[in-house]
Amino acid sequence: MASTQYAMLAAAPGQWTQEDVLLASSPQVRGLDIDGAELRRLGQEYFSQPRACLRASPLPKSFGWGLHYDADGRITLHAVDSPEYAQLRNDASLTQLRAMRSSRAAS
């Protein structure tokens, strides 16, 4: 899953939305050559149930990548130690969200 997500986001920064990436990395679609109508059908089926967002992806959780969403929901991938990441991190006008934890904290 993470390798598919990374390949998409690294090869075409700003081209894909969260829904595009989640569907392409799903077991039903990953690695298949599917036409547009069938892909739309699979997308409707896949998203008919609640799905975790990319904050739960291994990219930000395990590998430390930052995900930036533009106003249209298109995603760019940024290495945590990159100047671009630092610039985005220090931009107070952006909403900043952390990756989701793997488990709940003990109470």
> For the segment 43-76, what is each residue's pLDDT rounded down to a tens digit?
899 899 988 889 989 999 989 899 999 999 999 9
Report if residue 18 sits inside a domain.
yes
Maximum alpha-carbon separation in the chain: 48
Provide the pLDDT for residue 1.
81
How many domains does the chain divide into? 1
Residue 95 inside a domain? The answer is: no
Residues in the chain: 107
| pLDDT band per the 50, 70, 90 thresholds, residue 33 | confident
Tokens of residue 89, six digits: 């991190």
Instruction: Supply angle C-alpha 69, 71, 73, rounded to 5.
Output: 50
pLDDT at 107: 53
pLDDT at 105: 58
Query: Has residue 27 been placed in a domain?
Result: yes
Q: How much is the pLDDT for 28?
A: 72
The residue range of the domain holding 45 is 2-89
What's the pLDDT tens digit per position in 6-26?
Answer: 999 999 999 999 999 998 888
Tell me the average pLDDT across 28-55: 85
Distance CA 77, CA 66 (A): 6
In a domain, 96, yes or no: no
Overall average pLDDT of the 80-90 stretch: 94
